[in-house]
Every structure is written in structure tokens, then in C-alpha cells.
A = this chain, B = another copy of it.
Amino acid sequence: MKNERLSEPLSFKRILLTIDADDPNSSINAFRYAVTLAKDYEIELRIVSVLEDDDVNIFDAMTPGKVDRKEDDVNRTVEDYVKVARKAGADNVRGMSVGMGDVDDVILDQVIPKYKPDLIVCGSDTADASHRVPGAVGLRIAKRANVSVIVVR
């Protein structure tokens, strides 16, 4: 026990919350925990939701404006969460718009380098989820990113 760092408190400064717009129940506790931390420690919270490739079928892709509308829906969902977070007392909270793609790749390649969170908060799929790869996005990200990750159930 020589390590003096052990006695130093550790808290996070920049939280990234990933929301699954298709499986809102999976995000309830993750949202609540992220907002609680953001409020209690007065830290930044950024909320993101990725429109998954899988959610856009070939017919959507061929219908003019359909993908844009799906992206708008996702952004609106994020903005709704931002409002609830502010109302609950988290002052420094914003949504983040990202492109469509594989959730893991978008978070790892676009969101983390841009926002540089030190904690990623995510939920875990419920029975409602319809993903190709079930489970927690965060677990998969945690394997590949050098950031702390919490899966809230």
C-alpha cells in the first residue's frame, strides 16, 4: 500500500450518456444516474443517440427525406432528454448530433475524440431491443476505448 494516489478522491468531469432511442426503457436508469452525477458534482453532461444502420432499411434509404426524418426524430429525442435533465437540476447539459452508422464505431471514432469524456454512461438492452448485436453498447465500447464506462441497470 505505498501508492499515495490511493487516498486521493476520484470523480469524473465530463460525462457522455448514450441513449438508445429505439429501446427507451434501457436508458432510464442510465439517464437518472448520469443526471444525478452531473448535478451532484456540477459537471458536464453530453447526451448522444446514434441512428443505427440497422434501423434504416433499403426502402427508407430510397425514399427521399426518410433518413433525414429518422435523424430528426433521434435529435428530437435527445433534445427531450436534455430538457428533462435540465429540469432535474443538471445545469451543464447538451445534446450532441452525430451521423448514422454502427453505434460502437460512431461513438469511438466521432464522439469520444470530439467530446473527450472521462466517463461513458449507458444502459443495457431490454427485451424491447431489436439490435443485431444485443447487450450493452457500453461493454463493447469499454473493450475498445480507454475511457471509464458504467453500465447502469
Partner of A88, one of B7, B11, B32: B7
Are the C-beta atoms of A81 and B1 separated by less than 8 Å? Answer: yes
Render A106-132 as a binary contact track against B, CB cut-off 8 A, 1 for contact: 000000000000000000100000000
**Of residues A5, A87, A139, which shows the largest number of chain B Cβ atoms within 10 Å of its Cβ?**
A139
Residue A10 interfacial (CB < 8 Å): yes
Residue A149 interfacial (CB < 8 Å): yes
Chain B residue nearest in CB terms to A150: B150
**Of residues A24, A147, A148, which shows the largest number of chain B Cβ atoms within 10 Å of its Cβ?**
A148
Partner of A3, one of B9, B10, B28, B87: B28
Q: How far is the CB of A10 from chain B (nearest CB, A)?
A: 4
User: Known interface pairs A139-B143, A142-B151, A152-B148. Does A9 touch B36 (Cβ–Cβ under 8 Å)?
Assistant: yes
Chain B residue nearest in CB terms to A84: B6
Are the C-beta atoms of B24 and A8 separated by less than 8 Å? Answer: no
Residue A102 interfacial (CB < 8 Å): no
Are the C-beta atoms of B135 and A143 separated by less than 8 Å? Answer: yes
User: Known interface pairs A136-B142, A139-B143, A150-B149. Does A10 touch B24 (Cβ–Cβ under 8 Å)?
Assistant: no
**For the complex, what is the distance from the CA of A83 to the CA of B6, rounded to whole Å?**
11
Chain A contact residues, CB within 8 Å of chain B? 1, 3, 5-11, 24, 28-29, 31-33, 35-36, 39-40, 80-81, 83-84, 87-88, 124, 135-136, 139, 142-143, 146-153
